[in-house]
Structure 1
Amino acid sequence: MRAGRLLSLLLLLQNRGRLSAAQLAAELGVTSRTIYRDVEALGAAGVPIYAEHGPTGGYQLMDGYRTRLTGLTADEAESLFLTGMPQPAAELGLGAQVAAAELKLMAALPTPYREASMRIRQRFHLDAPDWYREPDAVPHLLAAAEALWRDQVIEVRYRRWAPRPGEVTRRLHPLGLVLKAGIWYLVAAGPRTYRVSSIVDLRPLPETFTRPDGFDLASFWQGNVERYEQTETAEVAVIRLSPRGVAALPGIIGPKAARAATRTPADAHGWQQTTIPLESVPHAAATLLRLGPDVQVLAPEQLVTEMTETIEAMAQLYRPRPERIPPP
């Protein structure tokens, strides 16, 4: 552990120039006292490192000194694909490898490229999840990722919504993990897609499998998204929308789904009958309730019932309660 920390300290100084003991301690997750001992160890090993005192002081390498100890470990090399996504990397247990890989990569770059890389990092940042959305709880993500690396068969207990809500048990051959809009999906042989947060239990099995020849995760996922968004489905909801509801629909169900929705001509009051995809009754009810009085659900009956019961329960909360007359 200490050898890796010493190398990280050396690469930090090489990449960023002068750094104080407090800054180095914060980067490496240790105390300033540990940094003092590490700097002494580097100096004793012949590394030309020196300290400048004062408010702007810190540790610095002699001009022109560059280490060539920048070989990446296997885990660090794999983690390079996640360097732009620190939160997903942490969820996959690769946060430390990403940080170490970035340091080594920066140290290996020529100075102009290293400066350009720092400029990009200072100016661009990826934040995938939507506003006001907390990431899904994915307690089985690491186990799924480990089985994925090893081509290991897994048995999962999975909470599904359709065709019948409930829990099912499946044996899966994991082929990939995809992060879409802050949500993790497991792609398994079939191929089929499972939302990782809906996995109730996951058990690795002792057997392995052979990945299908020519399977390309990115190509499969792109086709999966296109099929999901474009395919006519038997599950649809029929609704009526006011002019204000029509205008708000893209922000509620998404611009692409709103464009794909079929509409009848507006009536004398400007209301239009619209058919939209139905993912599930609870999801549709929660979504359409955001339109308030600008939407009326016509079908299916299960969705009408769900909306009616929810609205009646909400109305009950806001009805004035009769005043209690005190007894004489």
Structure 2
Amino acid sequence: MRADRLLSIMLLLQVHRRITARTLAQRLEVSERTIQRDMEALSVSGIPIISERGSGGGWGLLEEYRTNLTGLSESEVQALFLTRPNRLLSDLGLSQASEAAFIKLLAALPSMSRHNAEYARQRFYIDATGWRTPEEALPCLSVLQGAVWQESRLLFSYQRDAKQVERLVNPLGLVAKGSTWYLVAQIEGDIRTYRVSRIREARILPESFERPVDFDLATFWEQSTVAFKSNLPSYFVTLRALPELVPFLRNAGYYSHVEQIGEEDEEGWVKVFMRFDVESAALACLSGFGADVEVLEPEELREKIIDQARRMLAFYEQRSERREAMVERP
């Protein structure tokens, strides 16, 4: 609803000294033209909105203006009390502070809103970790967190392949992908991402830095994620499989993904289209299903699986012959 959006714009303007139309459009999931019309509507209604052009510009409110229109709807209360990633808060050392804030916020709500919050909390729980997520050691996370908060330069050693390298960076933010932490940092004018579990030692330097004016952590992460996925190697395989094996193919691992499932053929098998990162991953995965999966394309992969099956059969026949010979030996 437009009224909710106008209120959200006012609150965002009150929180941020300056905010661009593009950022508002992204946050509120509308077009920049819609934001322009909303700004005109707020201005006509008497809200003291100002606009500045150029680098560092954007929309803002006169500093002395404040609004107290902060009432929460039922769905807003439920959403607020559902988003508590306990594991990640614990990583940051904020689990107790989060619980204290939760109690204070709950106590500050009207009785009906408090009921909605507790109702949602008892019926939904969000666990952001996967079943097979390995526990990663994060000895330097607190140091990185301090550097990000203080906007201080950071010197750290990073495990890259089989060697350690040193990096001097401007830490811009920390991102949790599932339960895996990443440091987003600026180095020599470029912005890069480092997996926190690979950082061995870190030291905050007594030097501050200026954040890029147009940098937005969420936008950067979304764009870099899209770029990362588009640059992943792809190896496509077409195969036939028994229908009951499809769930196992979906969870096979090996950096694989089931792209499409076809209809059952006259023999009761289904055609499956899969994507792997590399051929070796497809070979390791699909050969393990034995005769319950038939690779159709590419032909080279089919031939390699046949060759591997022959070598495995020859190996076990040879071993069986040796064992029989040893048993017969007096």
Equivalences for residues 93-242 of structure 1 within 5 A: 93-161=93-161, 165-189=162-186, 190-229=190-229, 231-233=230-232, 235-237=233-235, 241-242=239-240
C-alpha displacement of 1:203: 2.2
For residues 102 and 185 of structure 1, what CA distance do their matches in structure 2 show? 26
Describe the SS at the equivalent of 1:173: strand
Q: Would the aligned equivalents of 2:241 and 2:270 in 1 still touch at CA under 8 Å?
A: yes
Aligned length: 227
C-alpha displacement of 1:257: 4.7
Describe the SS at the equivalent of 1:97: helix
C-alpha displacement of 1:154: 1.4
C-alpha displacement of 1:272: 8.5
C-alpha displacement of 1:145: 0.9
The more displaced of 113-122 and 132-141 is 132-141
Q: Would the aligned equivalents of 2:147 and 2:153 in 1 still touch at CA under 8 Å?
A: yes
- 2:241 paired residue number: 243
What are the superposed Cα offsets for residues 35-88 of structure 1, whole Å, 9 maximum, x if unpaired?
Answer: xxxxxxxxxxxxxxxxxxxxxxxxxxxxxxxxxxxxxxxxxxxxx999611111
Pair 1:290–1:202, CA change in 2 (3 A): farther
Q: Would the aligned equivalents of 1:129 and 1:135 in 2 still touch at CA under 8 Å?
A: no
Counterpart residue type for residue 323 of structure 2: P
What are the superposed Cα offsets for residues 256-283 of structure 1, whole Å, 9 maximum, x if unpaired?
Answer: 95439xxxxxxxx9998976335x98xx
Pair 1:139–1:113, CA change in 2 (3 A): same
Counterpart residue type for residue 243 of structure 1: A
Equivalences for residues 54-93 of structure 1 within 5 A: 84-93=84-93
What are the superposed Cα offsets for residues 23-42 of structure 1, whole Å, 9 maximum, x if unpaired?
Answer: xxxxxxxxxxxxxxxxxxxx
Q: Would the aligned equivalents of 1:156 and 1:169 in 2 still touch at CA under 8 Å?
A: yes
Describe the SS at the equivalent of 1:213: coil
Pair 1:123–1:286, CA change in 2 (3 A): farther
Percent identity of equivalent pairs: 33
For residues 178 and 87 of structure 1, what CA distance do their matches in structure 2 show? 14
What are the superposed Cα offsets for residues 148-176 of structure 1, whole Å, 9 maximum, x if unpaired?
Answer: 11112212222234xxx533222222111
For residues 274 and 256 of structure 1, what CA distance do their matches in structure 2 show? 7
Pair 1:158–1:289, CA change in 2 (3 A): farther
Equivalences for residues 18-29 of structure 1 within 5 A: none
- 2:277 paired residue number: 277
Describe the SS at the equivalent of 2:251: helix
Q: Would the aligned equivalents of 1:240 and 1:274 in 2 still touch at CA under 8 Å?
A: yes
Pair 1:131–1:290, CA change in 2 (3 A): farther
Describe the SS at the equivalent of 1:169: strand
Describe the SS at the equivalent of 1:102: helix
Counterpart residue type for residue 89 of structure 1: L
For residues 149 and 81 of structure 2, what CA distance do their matches in structure 1 show? 15
C-alpha displacement of 1:240: 7.0
C-alpha displacement of 1:108: 1.3
Describe the SS at the equivalent of 2:201: strand
Q: Would the aligned equivalents of 1:151 and 1:173 in 2 still touch at CA under 8 Å?
A: yes
For residues 200 and 192 of structure 1, what CA distance do their matches in structure 2 show? 17
For residues 178 and 194 of structure 1, what CA distance do their matches in structure 2 show? 10
Query: Normalising by structure 2, what TM-score?
Result: 0.53
Pair 1:201–1:236, CA change in 2 (3 A): farther
Q: Would the aligned equivalents of 2:158 and 2:164 in 1 still touch at CA under 8 Å?
A: yes
For residues 272 and 195 of structure 1, what CA distance do their matches in structure 2 show? 34
Equivalences for residues 11-22 of structure 1 within 5 A: none
- 1:322 paired residue number: 323
For residues 81 and 151 of structure 1, what CA distance do their matches in structure 2 show? 30
Query: Normalising by structure 1, what TM-score?
Result: 0.54
More strand by share: 2
Counterpart residue type for residue 322 of structure 1: R
C-alpha displacement of 1:126: 0.8
Pair 1:188–1:125, CA change in 2 (3 A): same
Describe the SS at the equivalent of 1:259: strand
C-alpha displacement of 1:213: 0.7
